[in-house]
Chains A and B, each alone.
Chain A
Amino acid sequence: MTFQNSIELLKFHSVAYSIYALMIISIVAWFGYNLAKKEKAKSIIRIPFYGYIAFLVIGGVGHHIFTYNTIPWVQEDMMKDQIKPDKVFHIQIKDHKWILPKTPMVVNCGKPTLFDVTSGDLMYGFGLFRQDGTIVTQMQVDPGHENKLMWTFNFDGTFNLTSTEYSGPAQYDEKGNDLLFVKNAVKVVGCENKKGGN
């Protein structure tokens, strides 16, 4: 099982967490109901203490093992210094303005792309979004440091750019429009029939 893009992952995550949330609320509600019953409620199951602890440990560690093996960008991120990118885009940001090499930045499908972003003043974020507003990927942009994000796009699409970190109210005009928003900043091509955004 591998998640091809963040949409798939978010859908999975949304369903899994919703089930968990309903389960935990129901369990505590059931627990409370039985706690207050006039006659002493009998235990249906006996939860062994060490079994419970093992469950928590497996849950905590297993989650990371699961994501490491199913989310492709985790390994790519950790190995980014050893991967030769197909394209590199050097991007600067200062005074709440992007300096982009070109618009759109055209990316080849299935090939690792490196976004190298530097800030000349404040802390910003670099985030790519689909046309429906969902996040494709992002990173923080720390001033005085190299901020490199390696990403492989698996679906065709055009993506918008904005800062995902707050850098003061100067990011917005008087009407509340985001001045760091760049429509169609990235375009992915060459995925043949796969459309819908990475």
Chain B
Amino acid sequence: MSFADNLINGTNFDHTKLNALQKVALRGVVMSFLFFGLLAIEGLIMRLVKLGPTNPLPDMFSHAPHFFAIMTAHPIVGIFGSTYQLVFSAFIFLVPFLAKKPLYSVKLANATWLLITIGTALAWIACFLWHYAPLYTLYWPLPADLKQFEAIGGIVFIVGAALIMIGTLCFIYNIYATIFARVGVHKNKTTKELLISGFGIDGLLNLWHKITGKPPYSKEPALSLPVVAIFRGTVDTFLDALVILSAGILVLIYIVFSAAGHSLDVSAIDALLYKNYFWWGLDLVADGLVLIYVAGSWYLLASIITGQRLFMENVARAALMLELIVSWMVWSHHLLADQPQPEMMKLISGEMVTAFELLTQGLALFITLVTLWKARPLKMTMELKYLLGGLIGFGLAVPAAIIQADMGMNRILHNTTWISFAHFHMALIVGLYMTLYSAVYVLWPLVTNGTKMYSSKLSNAHFWLYFIGGVGMGAFVGMAGLQGALRRHLYVHGEFHTLFTLGAIFGSMIVIAWALFLYNIVMSVGIKGLIGIFLPAQDKTASYGLEPEEA
């Protein structure tokens, strides 16, 4: 097949054979990878700006309003435009597939990716056109500071964020409505049984029964383990959406009143209380949603790759319950440098409960590795490679955070590039995304009806460039943090030059890796196929792998 043929028609991809569920899942995936490209380019721009005099970019990127507008847009594009979309799309497909019943609503799933896409685009436009730049943390009263920002920028940004959250709520409703639907295998299950399984209480009871010598509470839990993880993580997603929405409404009220010439008193809102509230919600993304969803994804991937049951499944179910509770109580580690924050909250929430994440994530790592080990020898497929990469990512990122979530270390590491790169860039780029790439390779044949990937060499090149780039950037820029580099600071005089240069080199590998991946995907599905994904599905089936009477 010629290059032009491949580019237009792909390998053997036929979008007309995709059903409604497959198409809606693929739409979110396409948008996610497009946003990832934007994310990677923004990241590289910021890395290059920090090279100072050797920065090859035009001067405008080094101007504070422009630079911090990019820094504000970057996590919105990354967390919501890319990560949320990819995770939500995977789960929109996986929940009906694993629960063996149809998705509650394809229309709602379409609304999800559309709202998140439009919302992310609006937030990005607010940063690009009006340089609205309060950063994702929105520390009060900065987002309502109209001495520094234009009202229109703030309004567009908040409307964008609100659309993202409404899209998120659509996803949540769809997932729970699917899980609780009493059809197919759950025809005879009660809501109580599904709730007990969803919260992992059956796993806990099974463990208790084993200890007390009783027969198992439930031999076949109502929900499979990955669905339990999705159920559990979605609780945090819901709470987080409420917090971000309410904070957005507050900011919007202040901006609108101020723009109308009736400024409200910003000191009426306690900055520290707001910070606690906002971090409680925001941390549900990082320490709740991500870690729970990731643990669930590891379990799923390990089961699919090995074709065997998960090792210590009951412990895994119970641990997911523990993770949920832990995730509600750890936000104070973001406030260890805030002196008015009560010391007991720093100690209990910020240090002790946070340290539990080492336990819950370590447990997920252990269960995944043992499941793989028991099934050896395994073929080193792309999905297995990415899974191992994802495990390394979290193996590096979680301890980096635990080190900083300490009253002694935080005094010298707070707001440095240690936390932004050694921890959360490592967790997201290497840990989360490599796990998601593994899921992409596992789900690819199912979602695309067995479409052949264009090039395995490109897949491998993507893996190595991405892995080395992600770990390298996280390590070197993280090390700059140990030398005093601040994470939300503009450096234009060549400070920390060696480490920042290495960070830019490794960061550019991530951009190249993304380009190779995109090229591989486009050559596999073809431009026609890519467009076809967004055309209405002829087959309206909202399930996958079920017999017609079941669907």
A residues engaging B (CB < 8 A)?
6, 9-10, 13-14, 17, 20-21, 24-25, 28, 31-32, 34-41, 43, 47, 49, 52-53, 56-57, 59-61, 63-64, 67-68, 70-71, 73-74, 77-78, 121-123, 125, 127, 129-130, 132-140, 142-149, 164-172, 174-178
Contact = CB atoms under 8 A, between A and B. Distances in A.
A29 to B, nearest CB: 8
B415 A165 contact: yes
Given A35-B372, A36-B377, A164-B415, A172 B490 contact: yes
Nearest to B487: A166
B475 A10 contact: no
B337 interface: yes
Contacts of A123: 139-140, 142, 271, 275
Contacts of B131: 169
B395 A28 contact: yes
B380 to A, nearest CB: 4
B411 A169 contact: no
Interface string B259-284: 00000000100111001000000000
B479 interface: yes
B492 A175 contact: yes
B355 A142 contact: no
Interface of B: 62-65, 67-68, 131, 133-135, 139-142, 145, 147-149, 267, 270-272, 275, 312, 335, 337-340, 343, 351-352, 355-356, 358-359, 362-363, 366, 369, 372-373, 376-380, 384-385, 388, 391-392, 395-396, 399-400, 402-403, 406-409, 411-416, 422, 471, 475, 479, 482-486, 488-490, 492-493, 495-496
Given A25-B392, A41-B376, A57-B359, A9 B141 contact: no
Given A35-B377, A166-B68, 17 more contacts: A14-B479, A17-B400, A31-B388, A41-B377, A49-B312, A60-B356, A61-B355, A68-B407, A70-B408, A74-B407, A78-B343, A133-B485, A139-B339, A145-B271, A145-B339, A146-B339, A168-B68
B165 to A, nearest CB: 23
Contacts of B486: 127, 164
A23 B498 CA distance: 25
Nearest to B392: A28
A77 B366 contact: no
A166 B408 contact: no
A32 B142 contact: no
B271 A36 contact: no
B278 to A, nearest CB: 12
A149 B339 contact: yes
A34 B340 contact: no
Nearest to B137: A166
B438 to A, nearest CB: 13
Q: Is the interface of A mostly helix, strand, loop or mixed?
A: mixed
Contacts of B134: 168
Q: Is the interface of B mostly helix, strand, loop or mixed?
A: helix
Interface centre among B275, B373, B395, B412, by most A CB within 10 Å? B412
A32 B384 CA distance: 9
A171 B415 CA distance: 16
Contacts, number: 224
- Across chains A and B, which 8 residue pairs bring their CB atoms closest together, nearest first? A60-B355, A71-B408, A176-B492, A169-B64, A172-B64, A166-B488, A67-B408, A145-B340
Nearest to A171: B64
A78 B339 CA distance: 10
Contacts of A63: 355, 402-403, 406
Nearest to B378: A35
Nearest to A80: B339
Contacts of A21: 396, 475
Given A13-B482, A25-B392, A146 B490 contact: no
Contacts of B492: 175-177
Given A28-B391, A73-B408, A145-B272, A176 B399 contact: no
A136 B91 CA distance: 46
Given A74-B408, A172-B490, A167 B142 contact: yes
8 contacts: A9-B408, A35-B384, A39-B377, A56-B362, A164-B337, A166-B68, A166-B489, A178-B489
Given A63-B406, A144-B267, A176-B63, A138 B376 contact: no
A24 B403 contact: no
Nearest to A136: B412
A147 B340 CA distance: 6
A52 B493 CA distance: 47
A10 B411 contact: no
Nearest to B388: A32
Contacts of B352: 61, 64
Nearest to A59: B358
A142 B408 contact: no
